[in-house]
C-alpha cells in the first residue's frame, strides 16, 4: 500500500514521512532476489553463503520461510537459465540496456525467471518487477521498460517445460571453453545440458539399499545409494532420518571412499572432512576415523550429523597444513576445496562466481594440501585425492604433478569392477571421473555430480 506524500498547496505541511514505502505482499522477496542476483553476478558471491540459514544475507533471513523459499527458487532458475532469459529480454529491447544498468538487468531477470520457469502468475511477476524498479533509484526511470518487456515475454515466450533452453547459450564462455577443451564439444553439450536439469536427492544408506529404496519409494543405485523420487515436505520428515539410517549425499560423492576397499578397523584420516558425508561412510564401514576441517562451524555440523547417525569419529578443527598427528595413518582421504564445477546442477551460481583464474589458484592449493596429506600416510598406506570439479586442472593435472614430485608414491589404478554400477566412470588409467550427464543426465535419468578421485599408495616412508 502506498503512503500519502503529504504535499498540499497552501495547507500546513504534514509531519515529514520517509519516501513512499510500497509494502505489498511479495515485493520484499523480489527485491531481495534482485539484490542477491547482484551479489552473485557483480561480486561473485556464493549463493550458499548468501542463503545460509544462520549467516546468510540479513534481508533474506528477515523474510517469512515461504518467501525465502521463493527467493531461492527464483535465483536457481534465473541462474540456471541465465542465457535463455538474457536472450528473451534482449529480443524485446529496441536498443541494448544502458551500460551501468546492472540493477535494472537484475530486476528484469528476476521477473523473467518467474514467468518462464516458475508457477507464479504473470501479472504478479510483472507488477512486482515494476514495483522493484520503482523502488530502486537506479532503475526507477526504466519502470515502463520493465513493464513492456516482461508483458511481452509473458505473452510471447515459451515456458518450462516447453522452454527449449540451449545448453551452450546457458553456459558462460569461460566454462564452455574449459569443457570443450577437455571433453570435446559433444560431451561438453551433454554436460551443459545436464546443468539445466534439477538434481535429484540421493541418500547413502548404512545397510539394506533395496529395502530403503522400497520404503522411501526411490530406486537403488549401486550398492549403497538410494535416489528419491520427488519428495513432499522436509527431508527430516522421511522414514529413517531420526533413526540415522541414511544421510543425503550425491551418488558421485559417495564413490571416492569406496576406493579404500575394506577399511574396518583401520586408522583413517579424513582431511577437509566437513560436513562429514565421507566421514560417515568411513565410520559406518568400521574405520577408526580422525576427521579434520578448518571451519569450526562446519565441524559442528559434522558432529551433529554423526550424532544423528549414531557414528563416531575423532573430530578436530584445524588446517591440514599445520596438522601434526602423533602417528601416521593407514589411509588418508583429501576431499579438497575446489571450484565445485561438478555441482552446477545443484549450485548454478558456480558458473558465474568461479572463473579460469580461480581454478588455477585452487589447483595450486590442492597440490600443496595433497603434498602435506601425503606426509601423513604410513609406508604401504593409501591416499585418495578427490574433489567435485569437472576441470582436469584440479584433477588429473594435480595428480600428475603430485606423482612427479613424490617418488615415494605410485598411482594405484582403480579397477572398474571395484565400483559396481559405476564401471563407466573409471578411466583407462584407473582414475575415477564422473561428469553430470552420466547416468542419463537430465530430469528423467537424474545424472550425478562431477567428481574426480585418484588413489595412490605410499611405497616408502
Ligand atoms: C569439499 S568440502 C568437504 C566435503 C566433505 N569431505 C564431505 O564429504 O562432506 C571442503 C572442506 O575443506 C575445508 N578446508 C578447506 N581448506 C582447508 C584446510 N587448509 N585445512 C582443513 N580444512 C580445509 C573446508 O572448510 C570444507 O569444509
* In-domain check, residue 93: yes
- Judge if ipTM > 0.95: yes
Query: Do 398 and 384 form a contact (C-beta atoms < 8 A)?
Result: no
Task: Assess if residue 185 is contained within a domain.
Answer: no
CATH number at residue 302: 3.40.50.150
Cα of 26 vs centre of ligand 1, distance in Å, is: 37
Does residue 244 fall inside a structural domain?
A: no
Query: Are 270 and 389 contained in the same domain?
Result: yes
Residues 437 and 335 in one domain: yes
SS (HEC) of the chain: CCCCCCCCCCCCCCCCCCCCCCCCCCHHHHHHHHHHHHHHHHHCCCHHHHCCCCCCCHHHHCCCHHHHHHHHHHHHHHHHCHHHHHHHHHCCCCCCCCCCCHHHHHHHHHHHHHHHHCCCCHHHHHHHHHHHHHHCCCCHHHHHHHHHHHHHHHHHCCCCCCCCCCCCCCCCHHHHHHHHHHHHHHHHHHHHHHCCCCCCCEEEECCCHHHHHHHHCCEEECCCEEECCCCCCCHHHCCCCCCCCEEECCCCCCCHHHHHCCCCCCEEEEECCCCCHHHHHHHHCCCEEEEEECCHHHHHHHHHHHHHHCCCCEEEECCHHHCCCCCCEEEEEEECCCCCHHHCCCCCCHHHHCCHHHHHHHHHHHHHHHHHHHHCEEEEEEEEEEECCCCHHHCHHHHHHHHHHCCCEEECCCCHHHCCCCHHHECCCCCEEECCCCCCCCCCCCCCCCEEEEEEEECCC
- Nearest residue to 225 via CA among 434, 56, 429: 434
Place of cell 561438453: 188
Q: Which residue has its alpha carbon closest to ligand 1 atom 24?
A: 272
Per-residue pLDDT of the chain (461 residues), as tens digits, is 333 323 333 333 344 344 556 788 999 999 999 999 999 999 999 999 999 988 999 999 999 999 999 999 999 999 999 999 999 999 999 999 988 888 999 999 999 999 999 999 999 999 999 999 999 999 999 999 999 999 999 999 999 988 889 999 999 999 999 999 999 999 999 999 999 999 999 999 999 999 999 999 999 998 899 999 777 788 999 999 999 999 999 999 999 999 999 999 999 999 999 999 999 999 999 999 999 999 999 999 999 999 999 999 999 999 999 999 999 999 999 999 999 999 999 999 999 999 999 999 999 999 999 999 999 999 999 999 999 999 999 999 999 999 999 999 999 999 999 999 899 999 999 999 999 999 886 655 789 999 999 999 999 87
278 annotated among ligand-binding-site residues: yes
Phi and psi dihedrals of 286, rounded to 5?
95, 10
All cell numbers assigned to 294: 578448518
Determine if residue 239 is labeled as part of a ligand binding site. Answer: no
Please choose from 272, 304, 305, 324 the residue to mutate so as to test ligand 1's pocket, defined by most ligand atoms within 8 A of CB: 272
Whether 278 and 402 map to the same domain: the answer is yes
Residue 188 lies in a domain: no
Residues identified as active-site: 388
End position of a domain, from candidates 156, 179, 209: 156
**What spacing in Å lies between the alpha carbon of 254 and ligand 1's midpoint?**
16
Joined grid coordinates for residue 452: 574426480
- Cβ–ligand 1 distance for 272 under 6 Å, the answer yes
Residue that finishes a domain, picked among 156, 177, 198: 156
Number of domains the chain contains? 2
Protein residue with its CA nearest to atom 20 in ligand 1 = 319
User: Is 175 part of any domain?
Assistant: no
Question: Among 156, 188, 220, where does a domain finish?
Answer: 156
Q: Are residues 269 and 145 in the same domain?
A: no
**Is 272 annotated as belonging to a binding site?**
yes
Q: Ligand 1 in contact with 319 (CB < 6 A)?
A: yes
Residue 347 lies in a domain: yes
Protein residue with least CA distance to atom 15, ligand 1: 337
| Domain boundaries, position 130 | 27-156
Amino acid at each position: 500500500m502506498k503512503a500519502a506524500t503529504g504535499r498540499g498547496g497552501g495547507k500546513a505541511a504534514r509531519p515529514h514521512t520517509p519516501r513512499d514505502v510500497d509494502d505489498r505482499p511479495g515485493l520484499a522477496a523480489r527485491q531481495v532476489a534482485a539484490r542477491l542476483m547482484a551479489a552473485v553476478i557483480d561480486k561473485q558471491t556464493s549463493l550458499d553463503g548468501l542463503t545460509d540459514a544462520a549467516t546468510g544475507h540479513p534481508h533474506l533471513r528477515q523474510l517469512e520461510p515461504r518467501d525465502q523459499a521463493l527467493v531461492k527458487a527464483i535465483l536457481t532458475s534465473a541462474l540456471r537459465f541465465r542465457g535463455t532469459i538474457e536472450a528473451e529480454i534482449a529480443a524485446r529491447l529496441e536498443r541494448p540496456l544502458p551500460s551501468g544498468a546492472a540493477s535494472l538487468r537484475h530486476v528484469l531477470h528476476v521477473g523473467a525467471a518467474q514467468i518462464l520457469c516458475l508457477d507464479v502468475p504473470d501479472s504478479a511477476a510483472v507488477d512486482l518487477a515494476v514495483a522493484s524498479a520503482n523502488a530502486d533509484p537506479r532503475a526507477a526511470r526504466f519502470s515502463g521498460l520493465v513493464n513492456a518487456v516482461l508483458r511481452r515475454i509473458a505473452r510471447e515466450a515459451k515456458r518450462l517445460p516447453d522452454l527449449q533452453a540451449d545448453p551452450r547459450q546457458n553456459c558462460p564462455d569461460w566454462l564452455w571453453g574449459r569443457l570443450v577443451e577437455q571433453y570435446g564439444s559433444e560431451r561438453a553439450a551433454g554436460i551443459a545440458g545436464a546443468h539445466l536439469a534439477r538434481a535429484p536427492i540421493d541418500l547413502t544408506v548404512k545397510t539394506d539399499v533395496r529395502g530403503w529404496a522400497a520404503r522411501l519409494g526411490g530406486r537403488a543405485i549401486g550398492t549403497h545409494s538410494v535416489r528419491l523420487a520427488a519428495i513432499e515436505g522436509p527431508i527430516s520428515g522421511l522414514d529413517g532420518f531420526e533413526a540415522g539410517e541414511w544421510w543425503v549425499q550425491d551418488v558421485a560423492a559417495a564413490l571416492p571412499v569406496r576406493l579404500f576397499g575394506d577399511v574396518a578397523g583401520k586408522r583413517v584420516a579424513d582431511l577437509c572432512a566437513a560436513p562429514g558425508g565421507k566421514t560417515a561412510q568411513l565410520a559406518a564401514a568400521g574405520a577408526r576415523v580422525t576427521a579434520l576441517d578448518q571451519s569450526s562451524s562446519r565441524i559442528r555440523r559434522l558432529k551433529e550429523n554423526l550424532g544423528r547417525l549414531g557414528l563416531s569419529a575423532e573430530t578436530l578443527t584445524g588446517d591440514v597444513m599445520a596438522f601434526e598427528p602423533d602417528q601416521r595413518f593407514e589411509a588418508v582421504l583429501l576431499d579438497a576445496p575446489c571450484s565445485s564445477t561438478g555441482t552446477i546442477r545443484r549450485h548454478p551460481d558456480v558458473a558465474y562466481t568461479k572463473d579460469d583464474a580461480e581454478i588455477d589458484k585452487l589447483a595450486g592449493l590442492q597440490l600443496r594440501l595433497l603434498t602435506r596429506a601425503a606426509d601423513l600416510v604410513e609406508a604401504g598406506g593409501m591416499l585418495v585425492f578427490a574433489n567435485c570439479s569437472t576441470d582436469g586442472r584440479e584433477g588429473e593435472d594435480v595428480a600428475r604433478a603430485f606423482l612427479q614430485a613424490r617418488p615415494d608414491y605410485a598411482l594405484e589404478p582403480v579397477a572398474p569392477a571395484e565400483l559396481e554400477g559405476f564401471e563407466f566412470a573409471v578411466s583407462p588409467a584407473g582414475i575415477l571421473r564422473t561428469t553430470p550427464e552420466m547416468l542419463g543426465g537430465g530430469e528423467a535419468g537424474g545424472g550425478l555430480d562431477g567428481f574426480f578421485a585418484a588413489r595412490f599408495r605410499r611405497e616408502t616412508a
